[in-house]
């Protein structure tokens, strides 16, 4: 049962434009959401997170939006740069005791010059 879904395996965007990566979840107990970026041969790098008490969190070029009623979150990258080309994983967990981080299957972003 895939509790965190990234339905787009890949996304291509031109440099300078907006990249929008989407993520859906099914577990209503999730209340903390994160985005990670992964380059080949490296570990995932933490990008940005959001708690369920918020609907938006911004850090530089990266903004995460959370729609709890739709169980949907998205990552916006503006403006996109070629160095943003990587695989992006969304992840989620609950807050009762230990809740393991559940990862989505990833979206490969390619930003072309």
Partner 1 sequence: DTEVTQTPKHLVMGMTNKKSLKCEQHMGHRAMYWYKQKAKKPPELMFVYSYEKLSINESVPSRFSPECPNSSLLNLHLHALQPEDSALYLCASSQDLAKGQFSNSPLHFGNGTRLTVT
Between 30 and 77, CB nearer to partner 1: 30
Cα separation, 83 vs 50, in Å, equals 23
Least distance from partner 1 to the Cβ atom of residue 54, Å? 11
Quote the tokens at residue 98: 């230990």
Among 42, 70, 83, 113, binds partner 1 (CB under 8 A): 42
CA separation for the pair 32, 96 (Å, rounded) = 11
Complete DSSP assignment for 54-111: -SEEEETTEEEEEETTTTEEEEEESS--GGG-EEEEEEEE--SS--PPEE---EEEEE
Question: Which residue in 7, 14, 26, 51 binds partner 1 (CB under 8 A)?
Answer: 51
Query: Using the rule CB under 8 A, which residue among 44, 64, 77, 88 binds partner 1?
Result: 44
- Scan residues 71-110 and list those touching partner 1 (CB under 8 A): 89, 95, 97-101, 103-106
Binding site for partner 1 (CB under 8 A): 32, 34, 36, 41-46, 49, 51, 89, 95, 97-101, 103-106
């Amino acid at each position: 049962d895939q509790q965190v879904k990234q339905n787009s395996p890949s996304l291509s965007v031109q440099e300078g434009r907006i990249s929008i990566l989407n993520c859906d979840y099914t577990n209503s107990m999730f209340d903390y959401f994160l985005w990670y970026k992964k380059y080949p041969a490296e570990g995932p790098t933490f990008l940005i997170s959001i708690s369920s008490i918020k609907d938006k969190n911004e850090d530089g070029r990266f903004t995460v939006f959370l729609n709890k009623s739709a169980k949907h979150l998205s990552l916006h990258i503006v403006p996109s740069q070629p160095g943003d080309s990587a695989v992006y994983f969304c992840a989620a967990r609950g807050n009762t005791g230990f809740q393991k981080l559940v990862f989505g299957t990833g979206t490969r972003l390619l930003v072309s010059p």
